[in-house]
Amino acid sequence: MSVRTARRITRTRLFATAALCAATLSLTACESGTDNAGSDATPTAATAPASSGGSVTQTSAGTAGKGAANASDGTDGAKGSTSSGGSAVQGGSDDSGKPAQCTAGTTKIKATVVSRPINHLLLTATNTGSAACVLPQYPAARFGDAQSVPPVAESTKPQSLTVIEPGKSAYAGVLLSAADGSADHGHTVKSLTIPFDDDSIATVDLPSDGVYVDDSLTVTYWLPSMDKALEY
């Protein structure tokens, strides 16, 4: 074999070896790249959902927490309203033992001239409402065009205000005039009005020929007993 031929064979082998190495290196690099890409993709894919899921979960938890807090606040707020409301109702409950004031709309007042004692008028206040009510201390009776109301007989003052249950009555006596005619400014009146504490006013019917009054005109306090009302 000639030297030239040997060199050709050697060069060919070198080229083949180099090509083989190049192919091997290329394949290794590709496999390495594939592995790396897979390695990068897999954690990324796994991490991204986990991170996203964690974020959503955290947000949901936060939202739920806030929602629960808001719900709690709303409940507390509702309780507060109920409490407020409850404070108003509680105050009413505390006052439940204290009847509301009687008014002209829930109380009918009747005037009756009695034979005994003489020169007396009996006022009867009947509760026409559905709940008990408390009367003013005494009837601030205004007879005719009088500019003032008669004085009240302090000796008839009860220990407490008079309360009337639905359908029940209370009484007040009125001394119209002096029995011996000694008082001044006697005259006949044909109208009577009686105000209540809420500023409502009851119009009370008097006999058609009116009643005679003078400076002796005096009323009693409202009393639960007719007899007591006519004692003065």
Task: Give which of 153, 129, 135 is closest to 218, Cα–Cα.
Answer: 153
pLDDT band at 17 (very low <50, low <70, confident <90, very high): low
CB-CB contact of 103 with 202 (8 Å):
no
* Positive or negative: CA dihedral 132, 133, 138, 141: negative
Task: Give which of 147, 128, 126, 150 is closest to 139, Cα–Cα.
Answer: 150
pLDDT band at 98 (very low <50, low <70, confident <90, very high): confident
Q: What is the chain's mean pLDDT, rounded?
A: 73
Q: What is the mean pLDDT of residues 1-10?
A: 50
CATH label of the domain that carries residue 109: 2.60.40
Boundary of a domain, candidates 96, 117, 139 = 96
pLDDT at 11: 55
pLDDT at 47: 38
- Please check whether residues 87 and 151 belong to one and the same domain: no
**Of the given ranges (87-91, 133-137, 170-174, 190-194), which has the lowest mean pLDDT?**
87-91
- The residue range of the domain holding 63 is 3-96
Structure tokens at 174: 């009125």
- Please check whether residues 20 and 90 belong to one and the same domain: yes
- Please check whether residues 140 and 216 belong to one and the same domain: yes
CB-CB contact of 101 with 198 (8 Å):
yes
pLDDT at 61: 38
- Please check whether residues 162 and 47 belong to one and the same domain: no
pLDDT at 16: 53
143 vs 40: which has the higher pLDDT:
143
- Per-residue burial over 89-98, b = 16 or more CB atoms within 10 Å of its CB, e = otherwise: eeeeeeeeee
- Please check whether residues 202 and 113 belong to one and the same domain: yes
Asked whether the predicted pLDDT for residue 198 surpasses 70, the reply is yes
CB-CB contact of 225 with 168 (8 Å):
no
pLDDT at 181: 83
- Please check whether residues 122 and 216 belong to one and the same domain: yes
- Please check whether residues 104 and 81 belong to one and the same domain: no
pLDDT at 59: 34
Q: What is the mean pLDDT of residues 196-208?
A: 96
CA–chain centroid gap for 13, Å, is: 104
pLDDT in tens, 162-188: 999 999 999 999 999 998 888 998 999
- Please check whether residues 40 and 113 belong to one and the same domain: no
Q: What is the mean pLDDT of residues 114-137?
A: 96
Boundary of a domain, candidates 48, 74, 96 = 96
pLDDT in tens, 107-121: 999 999 999 999 999
**Percent share of the chain, pLDDT over 70:** 58
pTM of the prediction? 0.59
Cis amide leading into 99 (omega within 30): no
- Please check whether residues 172 and 151 belong to one and the same domain: yes
- Please check whether residues 158 and 51 belong to one and the same domain: no
Count: domains in the chain:
2
215 vs 7: which has the higher pLDDT:
215
Q: For residues 153 and 174, what is the distance between their CA atoms, to the nearest angstrom?
A: 10
- Please check whether residues 208 and 126 belong to one and the same domain: yes
- Please check whether residues 79 and 104 belong to one and the same domain: no
